[in-house]
Amino acid sequence: MSDCIFCKFSKGEIKPITVYEDDKCIVFLDKFPLTKGQTLVVGKKHIDNVFDLPDDDYTHIFNIAKKIVKASDAAFDTIRTWLLVQGMQVAHNHIKILPIYEGEYPNLTEGSGPEVNDDVLNEQAEKLKKALE
């Protein structure tokens, strides 16, 4: 899909602030996060619903999501990290990884939060990458 933003990220036509990438998925910081340090795990195939992915892609993407959740808890001062599949905003499979902080709970009926500048996102990406090592 030529107008799909997540396909552009997957193909490298637009470069998000990336934490992890392989042949099946890309993980990057959400520029409009609900919580500080939110990432998105996006499969590289243009399939809308994550539950319609072939089993090997599905399993792989959720295994990567698990690693990112662990990295999020290690990198940030979280009480826990949530994993969320809504699929309501972009019609291309993605999993939201939401770091949760004491007393700060996101409103999940809101799809996104205020824009965060790239310097902050780059700093968060470095922390996550270090935690993934």
Binding site for Zn ion (CB under 5 A): 1, 4, 6-7, 46, 92
In this complex, which beta carbon is closest to Zn ion, that of residue 46 or of residue 66?
A: 46
In this complex, which beta carbon is closest to Zn ion, that of residue 2 or of residue 109?
A: 2
Ramachandran class of 51: left when φ > 0, alpha when ψ lies in -120 to 50, beta otherwise? alpha
Q: Which residue's Cβ has the minimum distance to Zn ion?
A: 4
In the complex, minimum distance from the CB of residue 49 to Zn ion, in angstroms, rounded to a whole number: 12
In the complex, minimum distance from the CB of residue 5 to Zn ion, in angstroms, rounded to a whole number: 8
**Spatial separation of the C-alpha atoms in residues 31 and 125, rounded to whole Å:** 12
In this complex, which beta carbon is closest to Zn ion, that of residue 4 or of residue 83?
A: 4
Geometric angle at alpha carbon 13, from 11 and 14, rounded to 5°? 110
Helices marked H in the chain: 5-11, 55-75, 118-132
